Amino acid sequence: MNLAALRPLGSSGLLVSPLALGTMTFGTPRWGMDEAASKAVFDRYVELGGNFVDTADVYSGGASEEMVGKFVAEGVLRERMVLATKSGFNTGNGPHEGGQGRRHLEAAVDRSLKRMQTDYIDLYWIHIWDGITPALELLQTMTGLIAKGKIRYWGLSNSPAWFVAQLATLARAHGLPAPIGLQYFYSLVERGVEDEHVPLAREFGMGLVPWSPLAYGLLTGKYDRATVEAGPRTGGVPNSGGDTGDRPDDDKRLDGDNPFGDQLFTDRNWRIVDALREVAADMGETPARVALAWVAGRPGVASTLMGVSRADQVTDNIGALSLSLPSKAIAALDAASGEGGRFLYGFFQPAARNQMVFGGADVIARPAEGGA
């Protein structure tokens, strides 16, 4: 299999490569890339047959969308590429600069279209559930954006299964455009989506697009536990642009501040890394390719997001598509990773939601029916 072997995303006519190019690294300080390095990564992906590029309005303060739009325009590639972007995390200083209310989404789409130099977005993701906006309002907003020709399809990321099911059911009942994809953290260290989201996607015809299949590089096997535990890191959304600086060759994403902070450095996850290293050594492969092949081969996965910081990593990751994991290897990885890993629902705690989605505003959800 290679990048040019396209497949439909869910029950739709949108055809995508088996590996999508994630662009969170485009323009992000410290562990990201400047424009020249980002262009080299983009060019390598396109040269090798890839057609699915994923960004977000929050990445590097909008610089990622701008780079993607510029690269596509310069290469006259718009008709070939599937461009996806997202909104939901707060991008400004007010409560309406995030979330999934109609006011924010209409404005966010227009800003993304301008930054990406395009008349339409192929796939628009709701980046995170805001815990406030009713499902019907969101469905009507997305229906309107499709009717206006601003987006072609839509999907959901970082949302609880019950909310996704409500949206899909409403869309089916009213004959409205339903979400065609789900984008979630899915890797050997985070398998929470298997409980509800994977069967939900199968039932409603949504393709799964895992993000961070290598757990921000933890599953490359390049981290030393003693070194990692020597210093704490803080978490947060990568919404700042600016000078990416000179990045040392041995600098890794989780070494400093990153969206996960220290959450990934658990006893369980270190055991998974050890099992992965052993499987990779037995196969004569790298831990990264084995971990990526495991995710790409999971039931329901349509395309897997890869986030890279060098062009040669694109080539290396593509090697995972032709990797067939022996049943013994799969059993060993499943045994090590089967328990734990429920990252998603931490997003939905009121304090975290108010900070990430509503810019620190004190937003109170509607009380439950019958409650105080």
The catalytic residue positions are 59
The residues facing 124 across adjacent strands are 85, 154
Strand locations in 127-269, DSSP E? 151-157, 181-185, 207-211
The residues facing 7 across adjacent strands are 16
Structure tokens at 89: 């995390």
Pick the closest to residue 231 from 252, 270, 262 (CA basis): 262
66, containing H or E segment: helix 63-74
The CA distance from 181 to 183, in Å, is: 7
> Are 121 and 112 contacting, i.e. CB atoms less than 8 angstroms apart?
yes
Beta carbons within 10 angstroms of residue 85's beta carbon: 30
The CA distance from 65 to 35, in Å, is: 12
Write the DSSP symbol of residue 179.
Answer: P
Give 57: exposed, middle or buried? Use CB within 10 Å, 0-12, 13-18, 19+. buried
Backbone angles phi, psi at 138, to 5 degrees: -65, -45
> Are 190 and 217 contacting, i.e. CB atoms less than 8 angstroms apart?
no
Using alpha carbons, list the distances in angstroms from residue 224 to 136, 207, 251, 254, 265: 48, 35, 12, 11, 11
**First CA to last CA distance, the chain:** 56
Pick the closest to residue 354 from 40, 99, 170 (CA basis): 99
- Hey, CA dihedral for 171, 175, 179, 181, is it positive or negative? positive
Using alpha carbons, list the distances in angstroms from residue 50 to 23, 106, 119, 210, 303: 14, 29, 21, 17, 11
Backbone angles phi, psi at 311, to 5 degrees: -60, -35
The CA distance from 15 to 152, in Å, is: 13
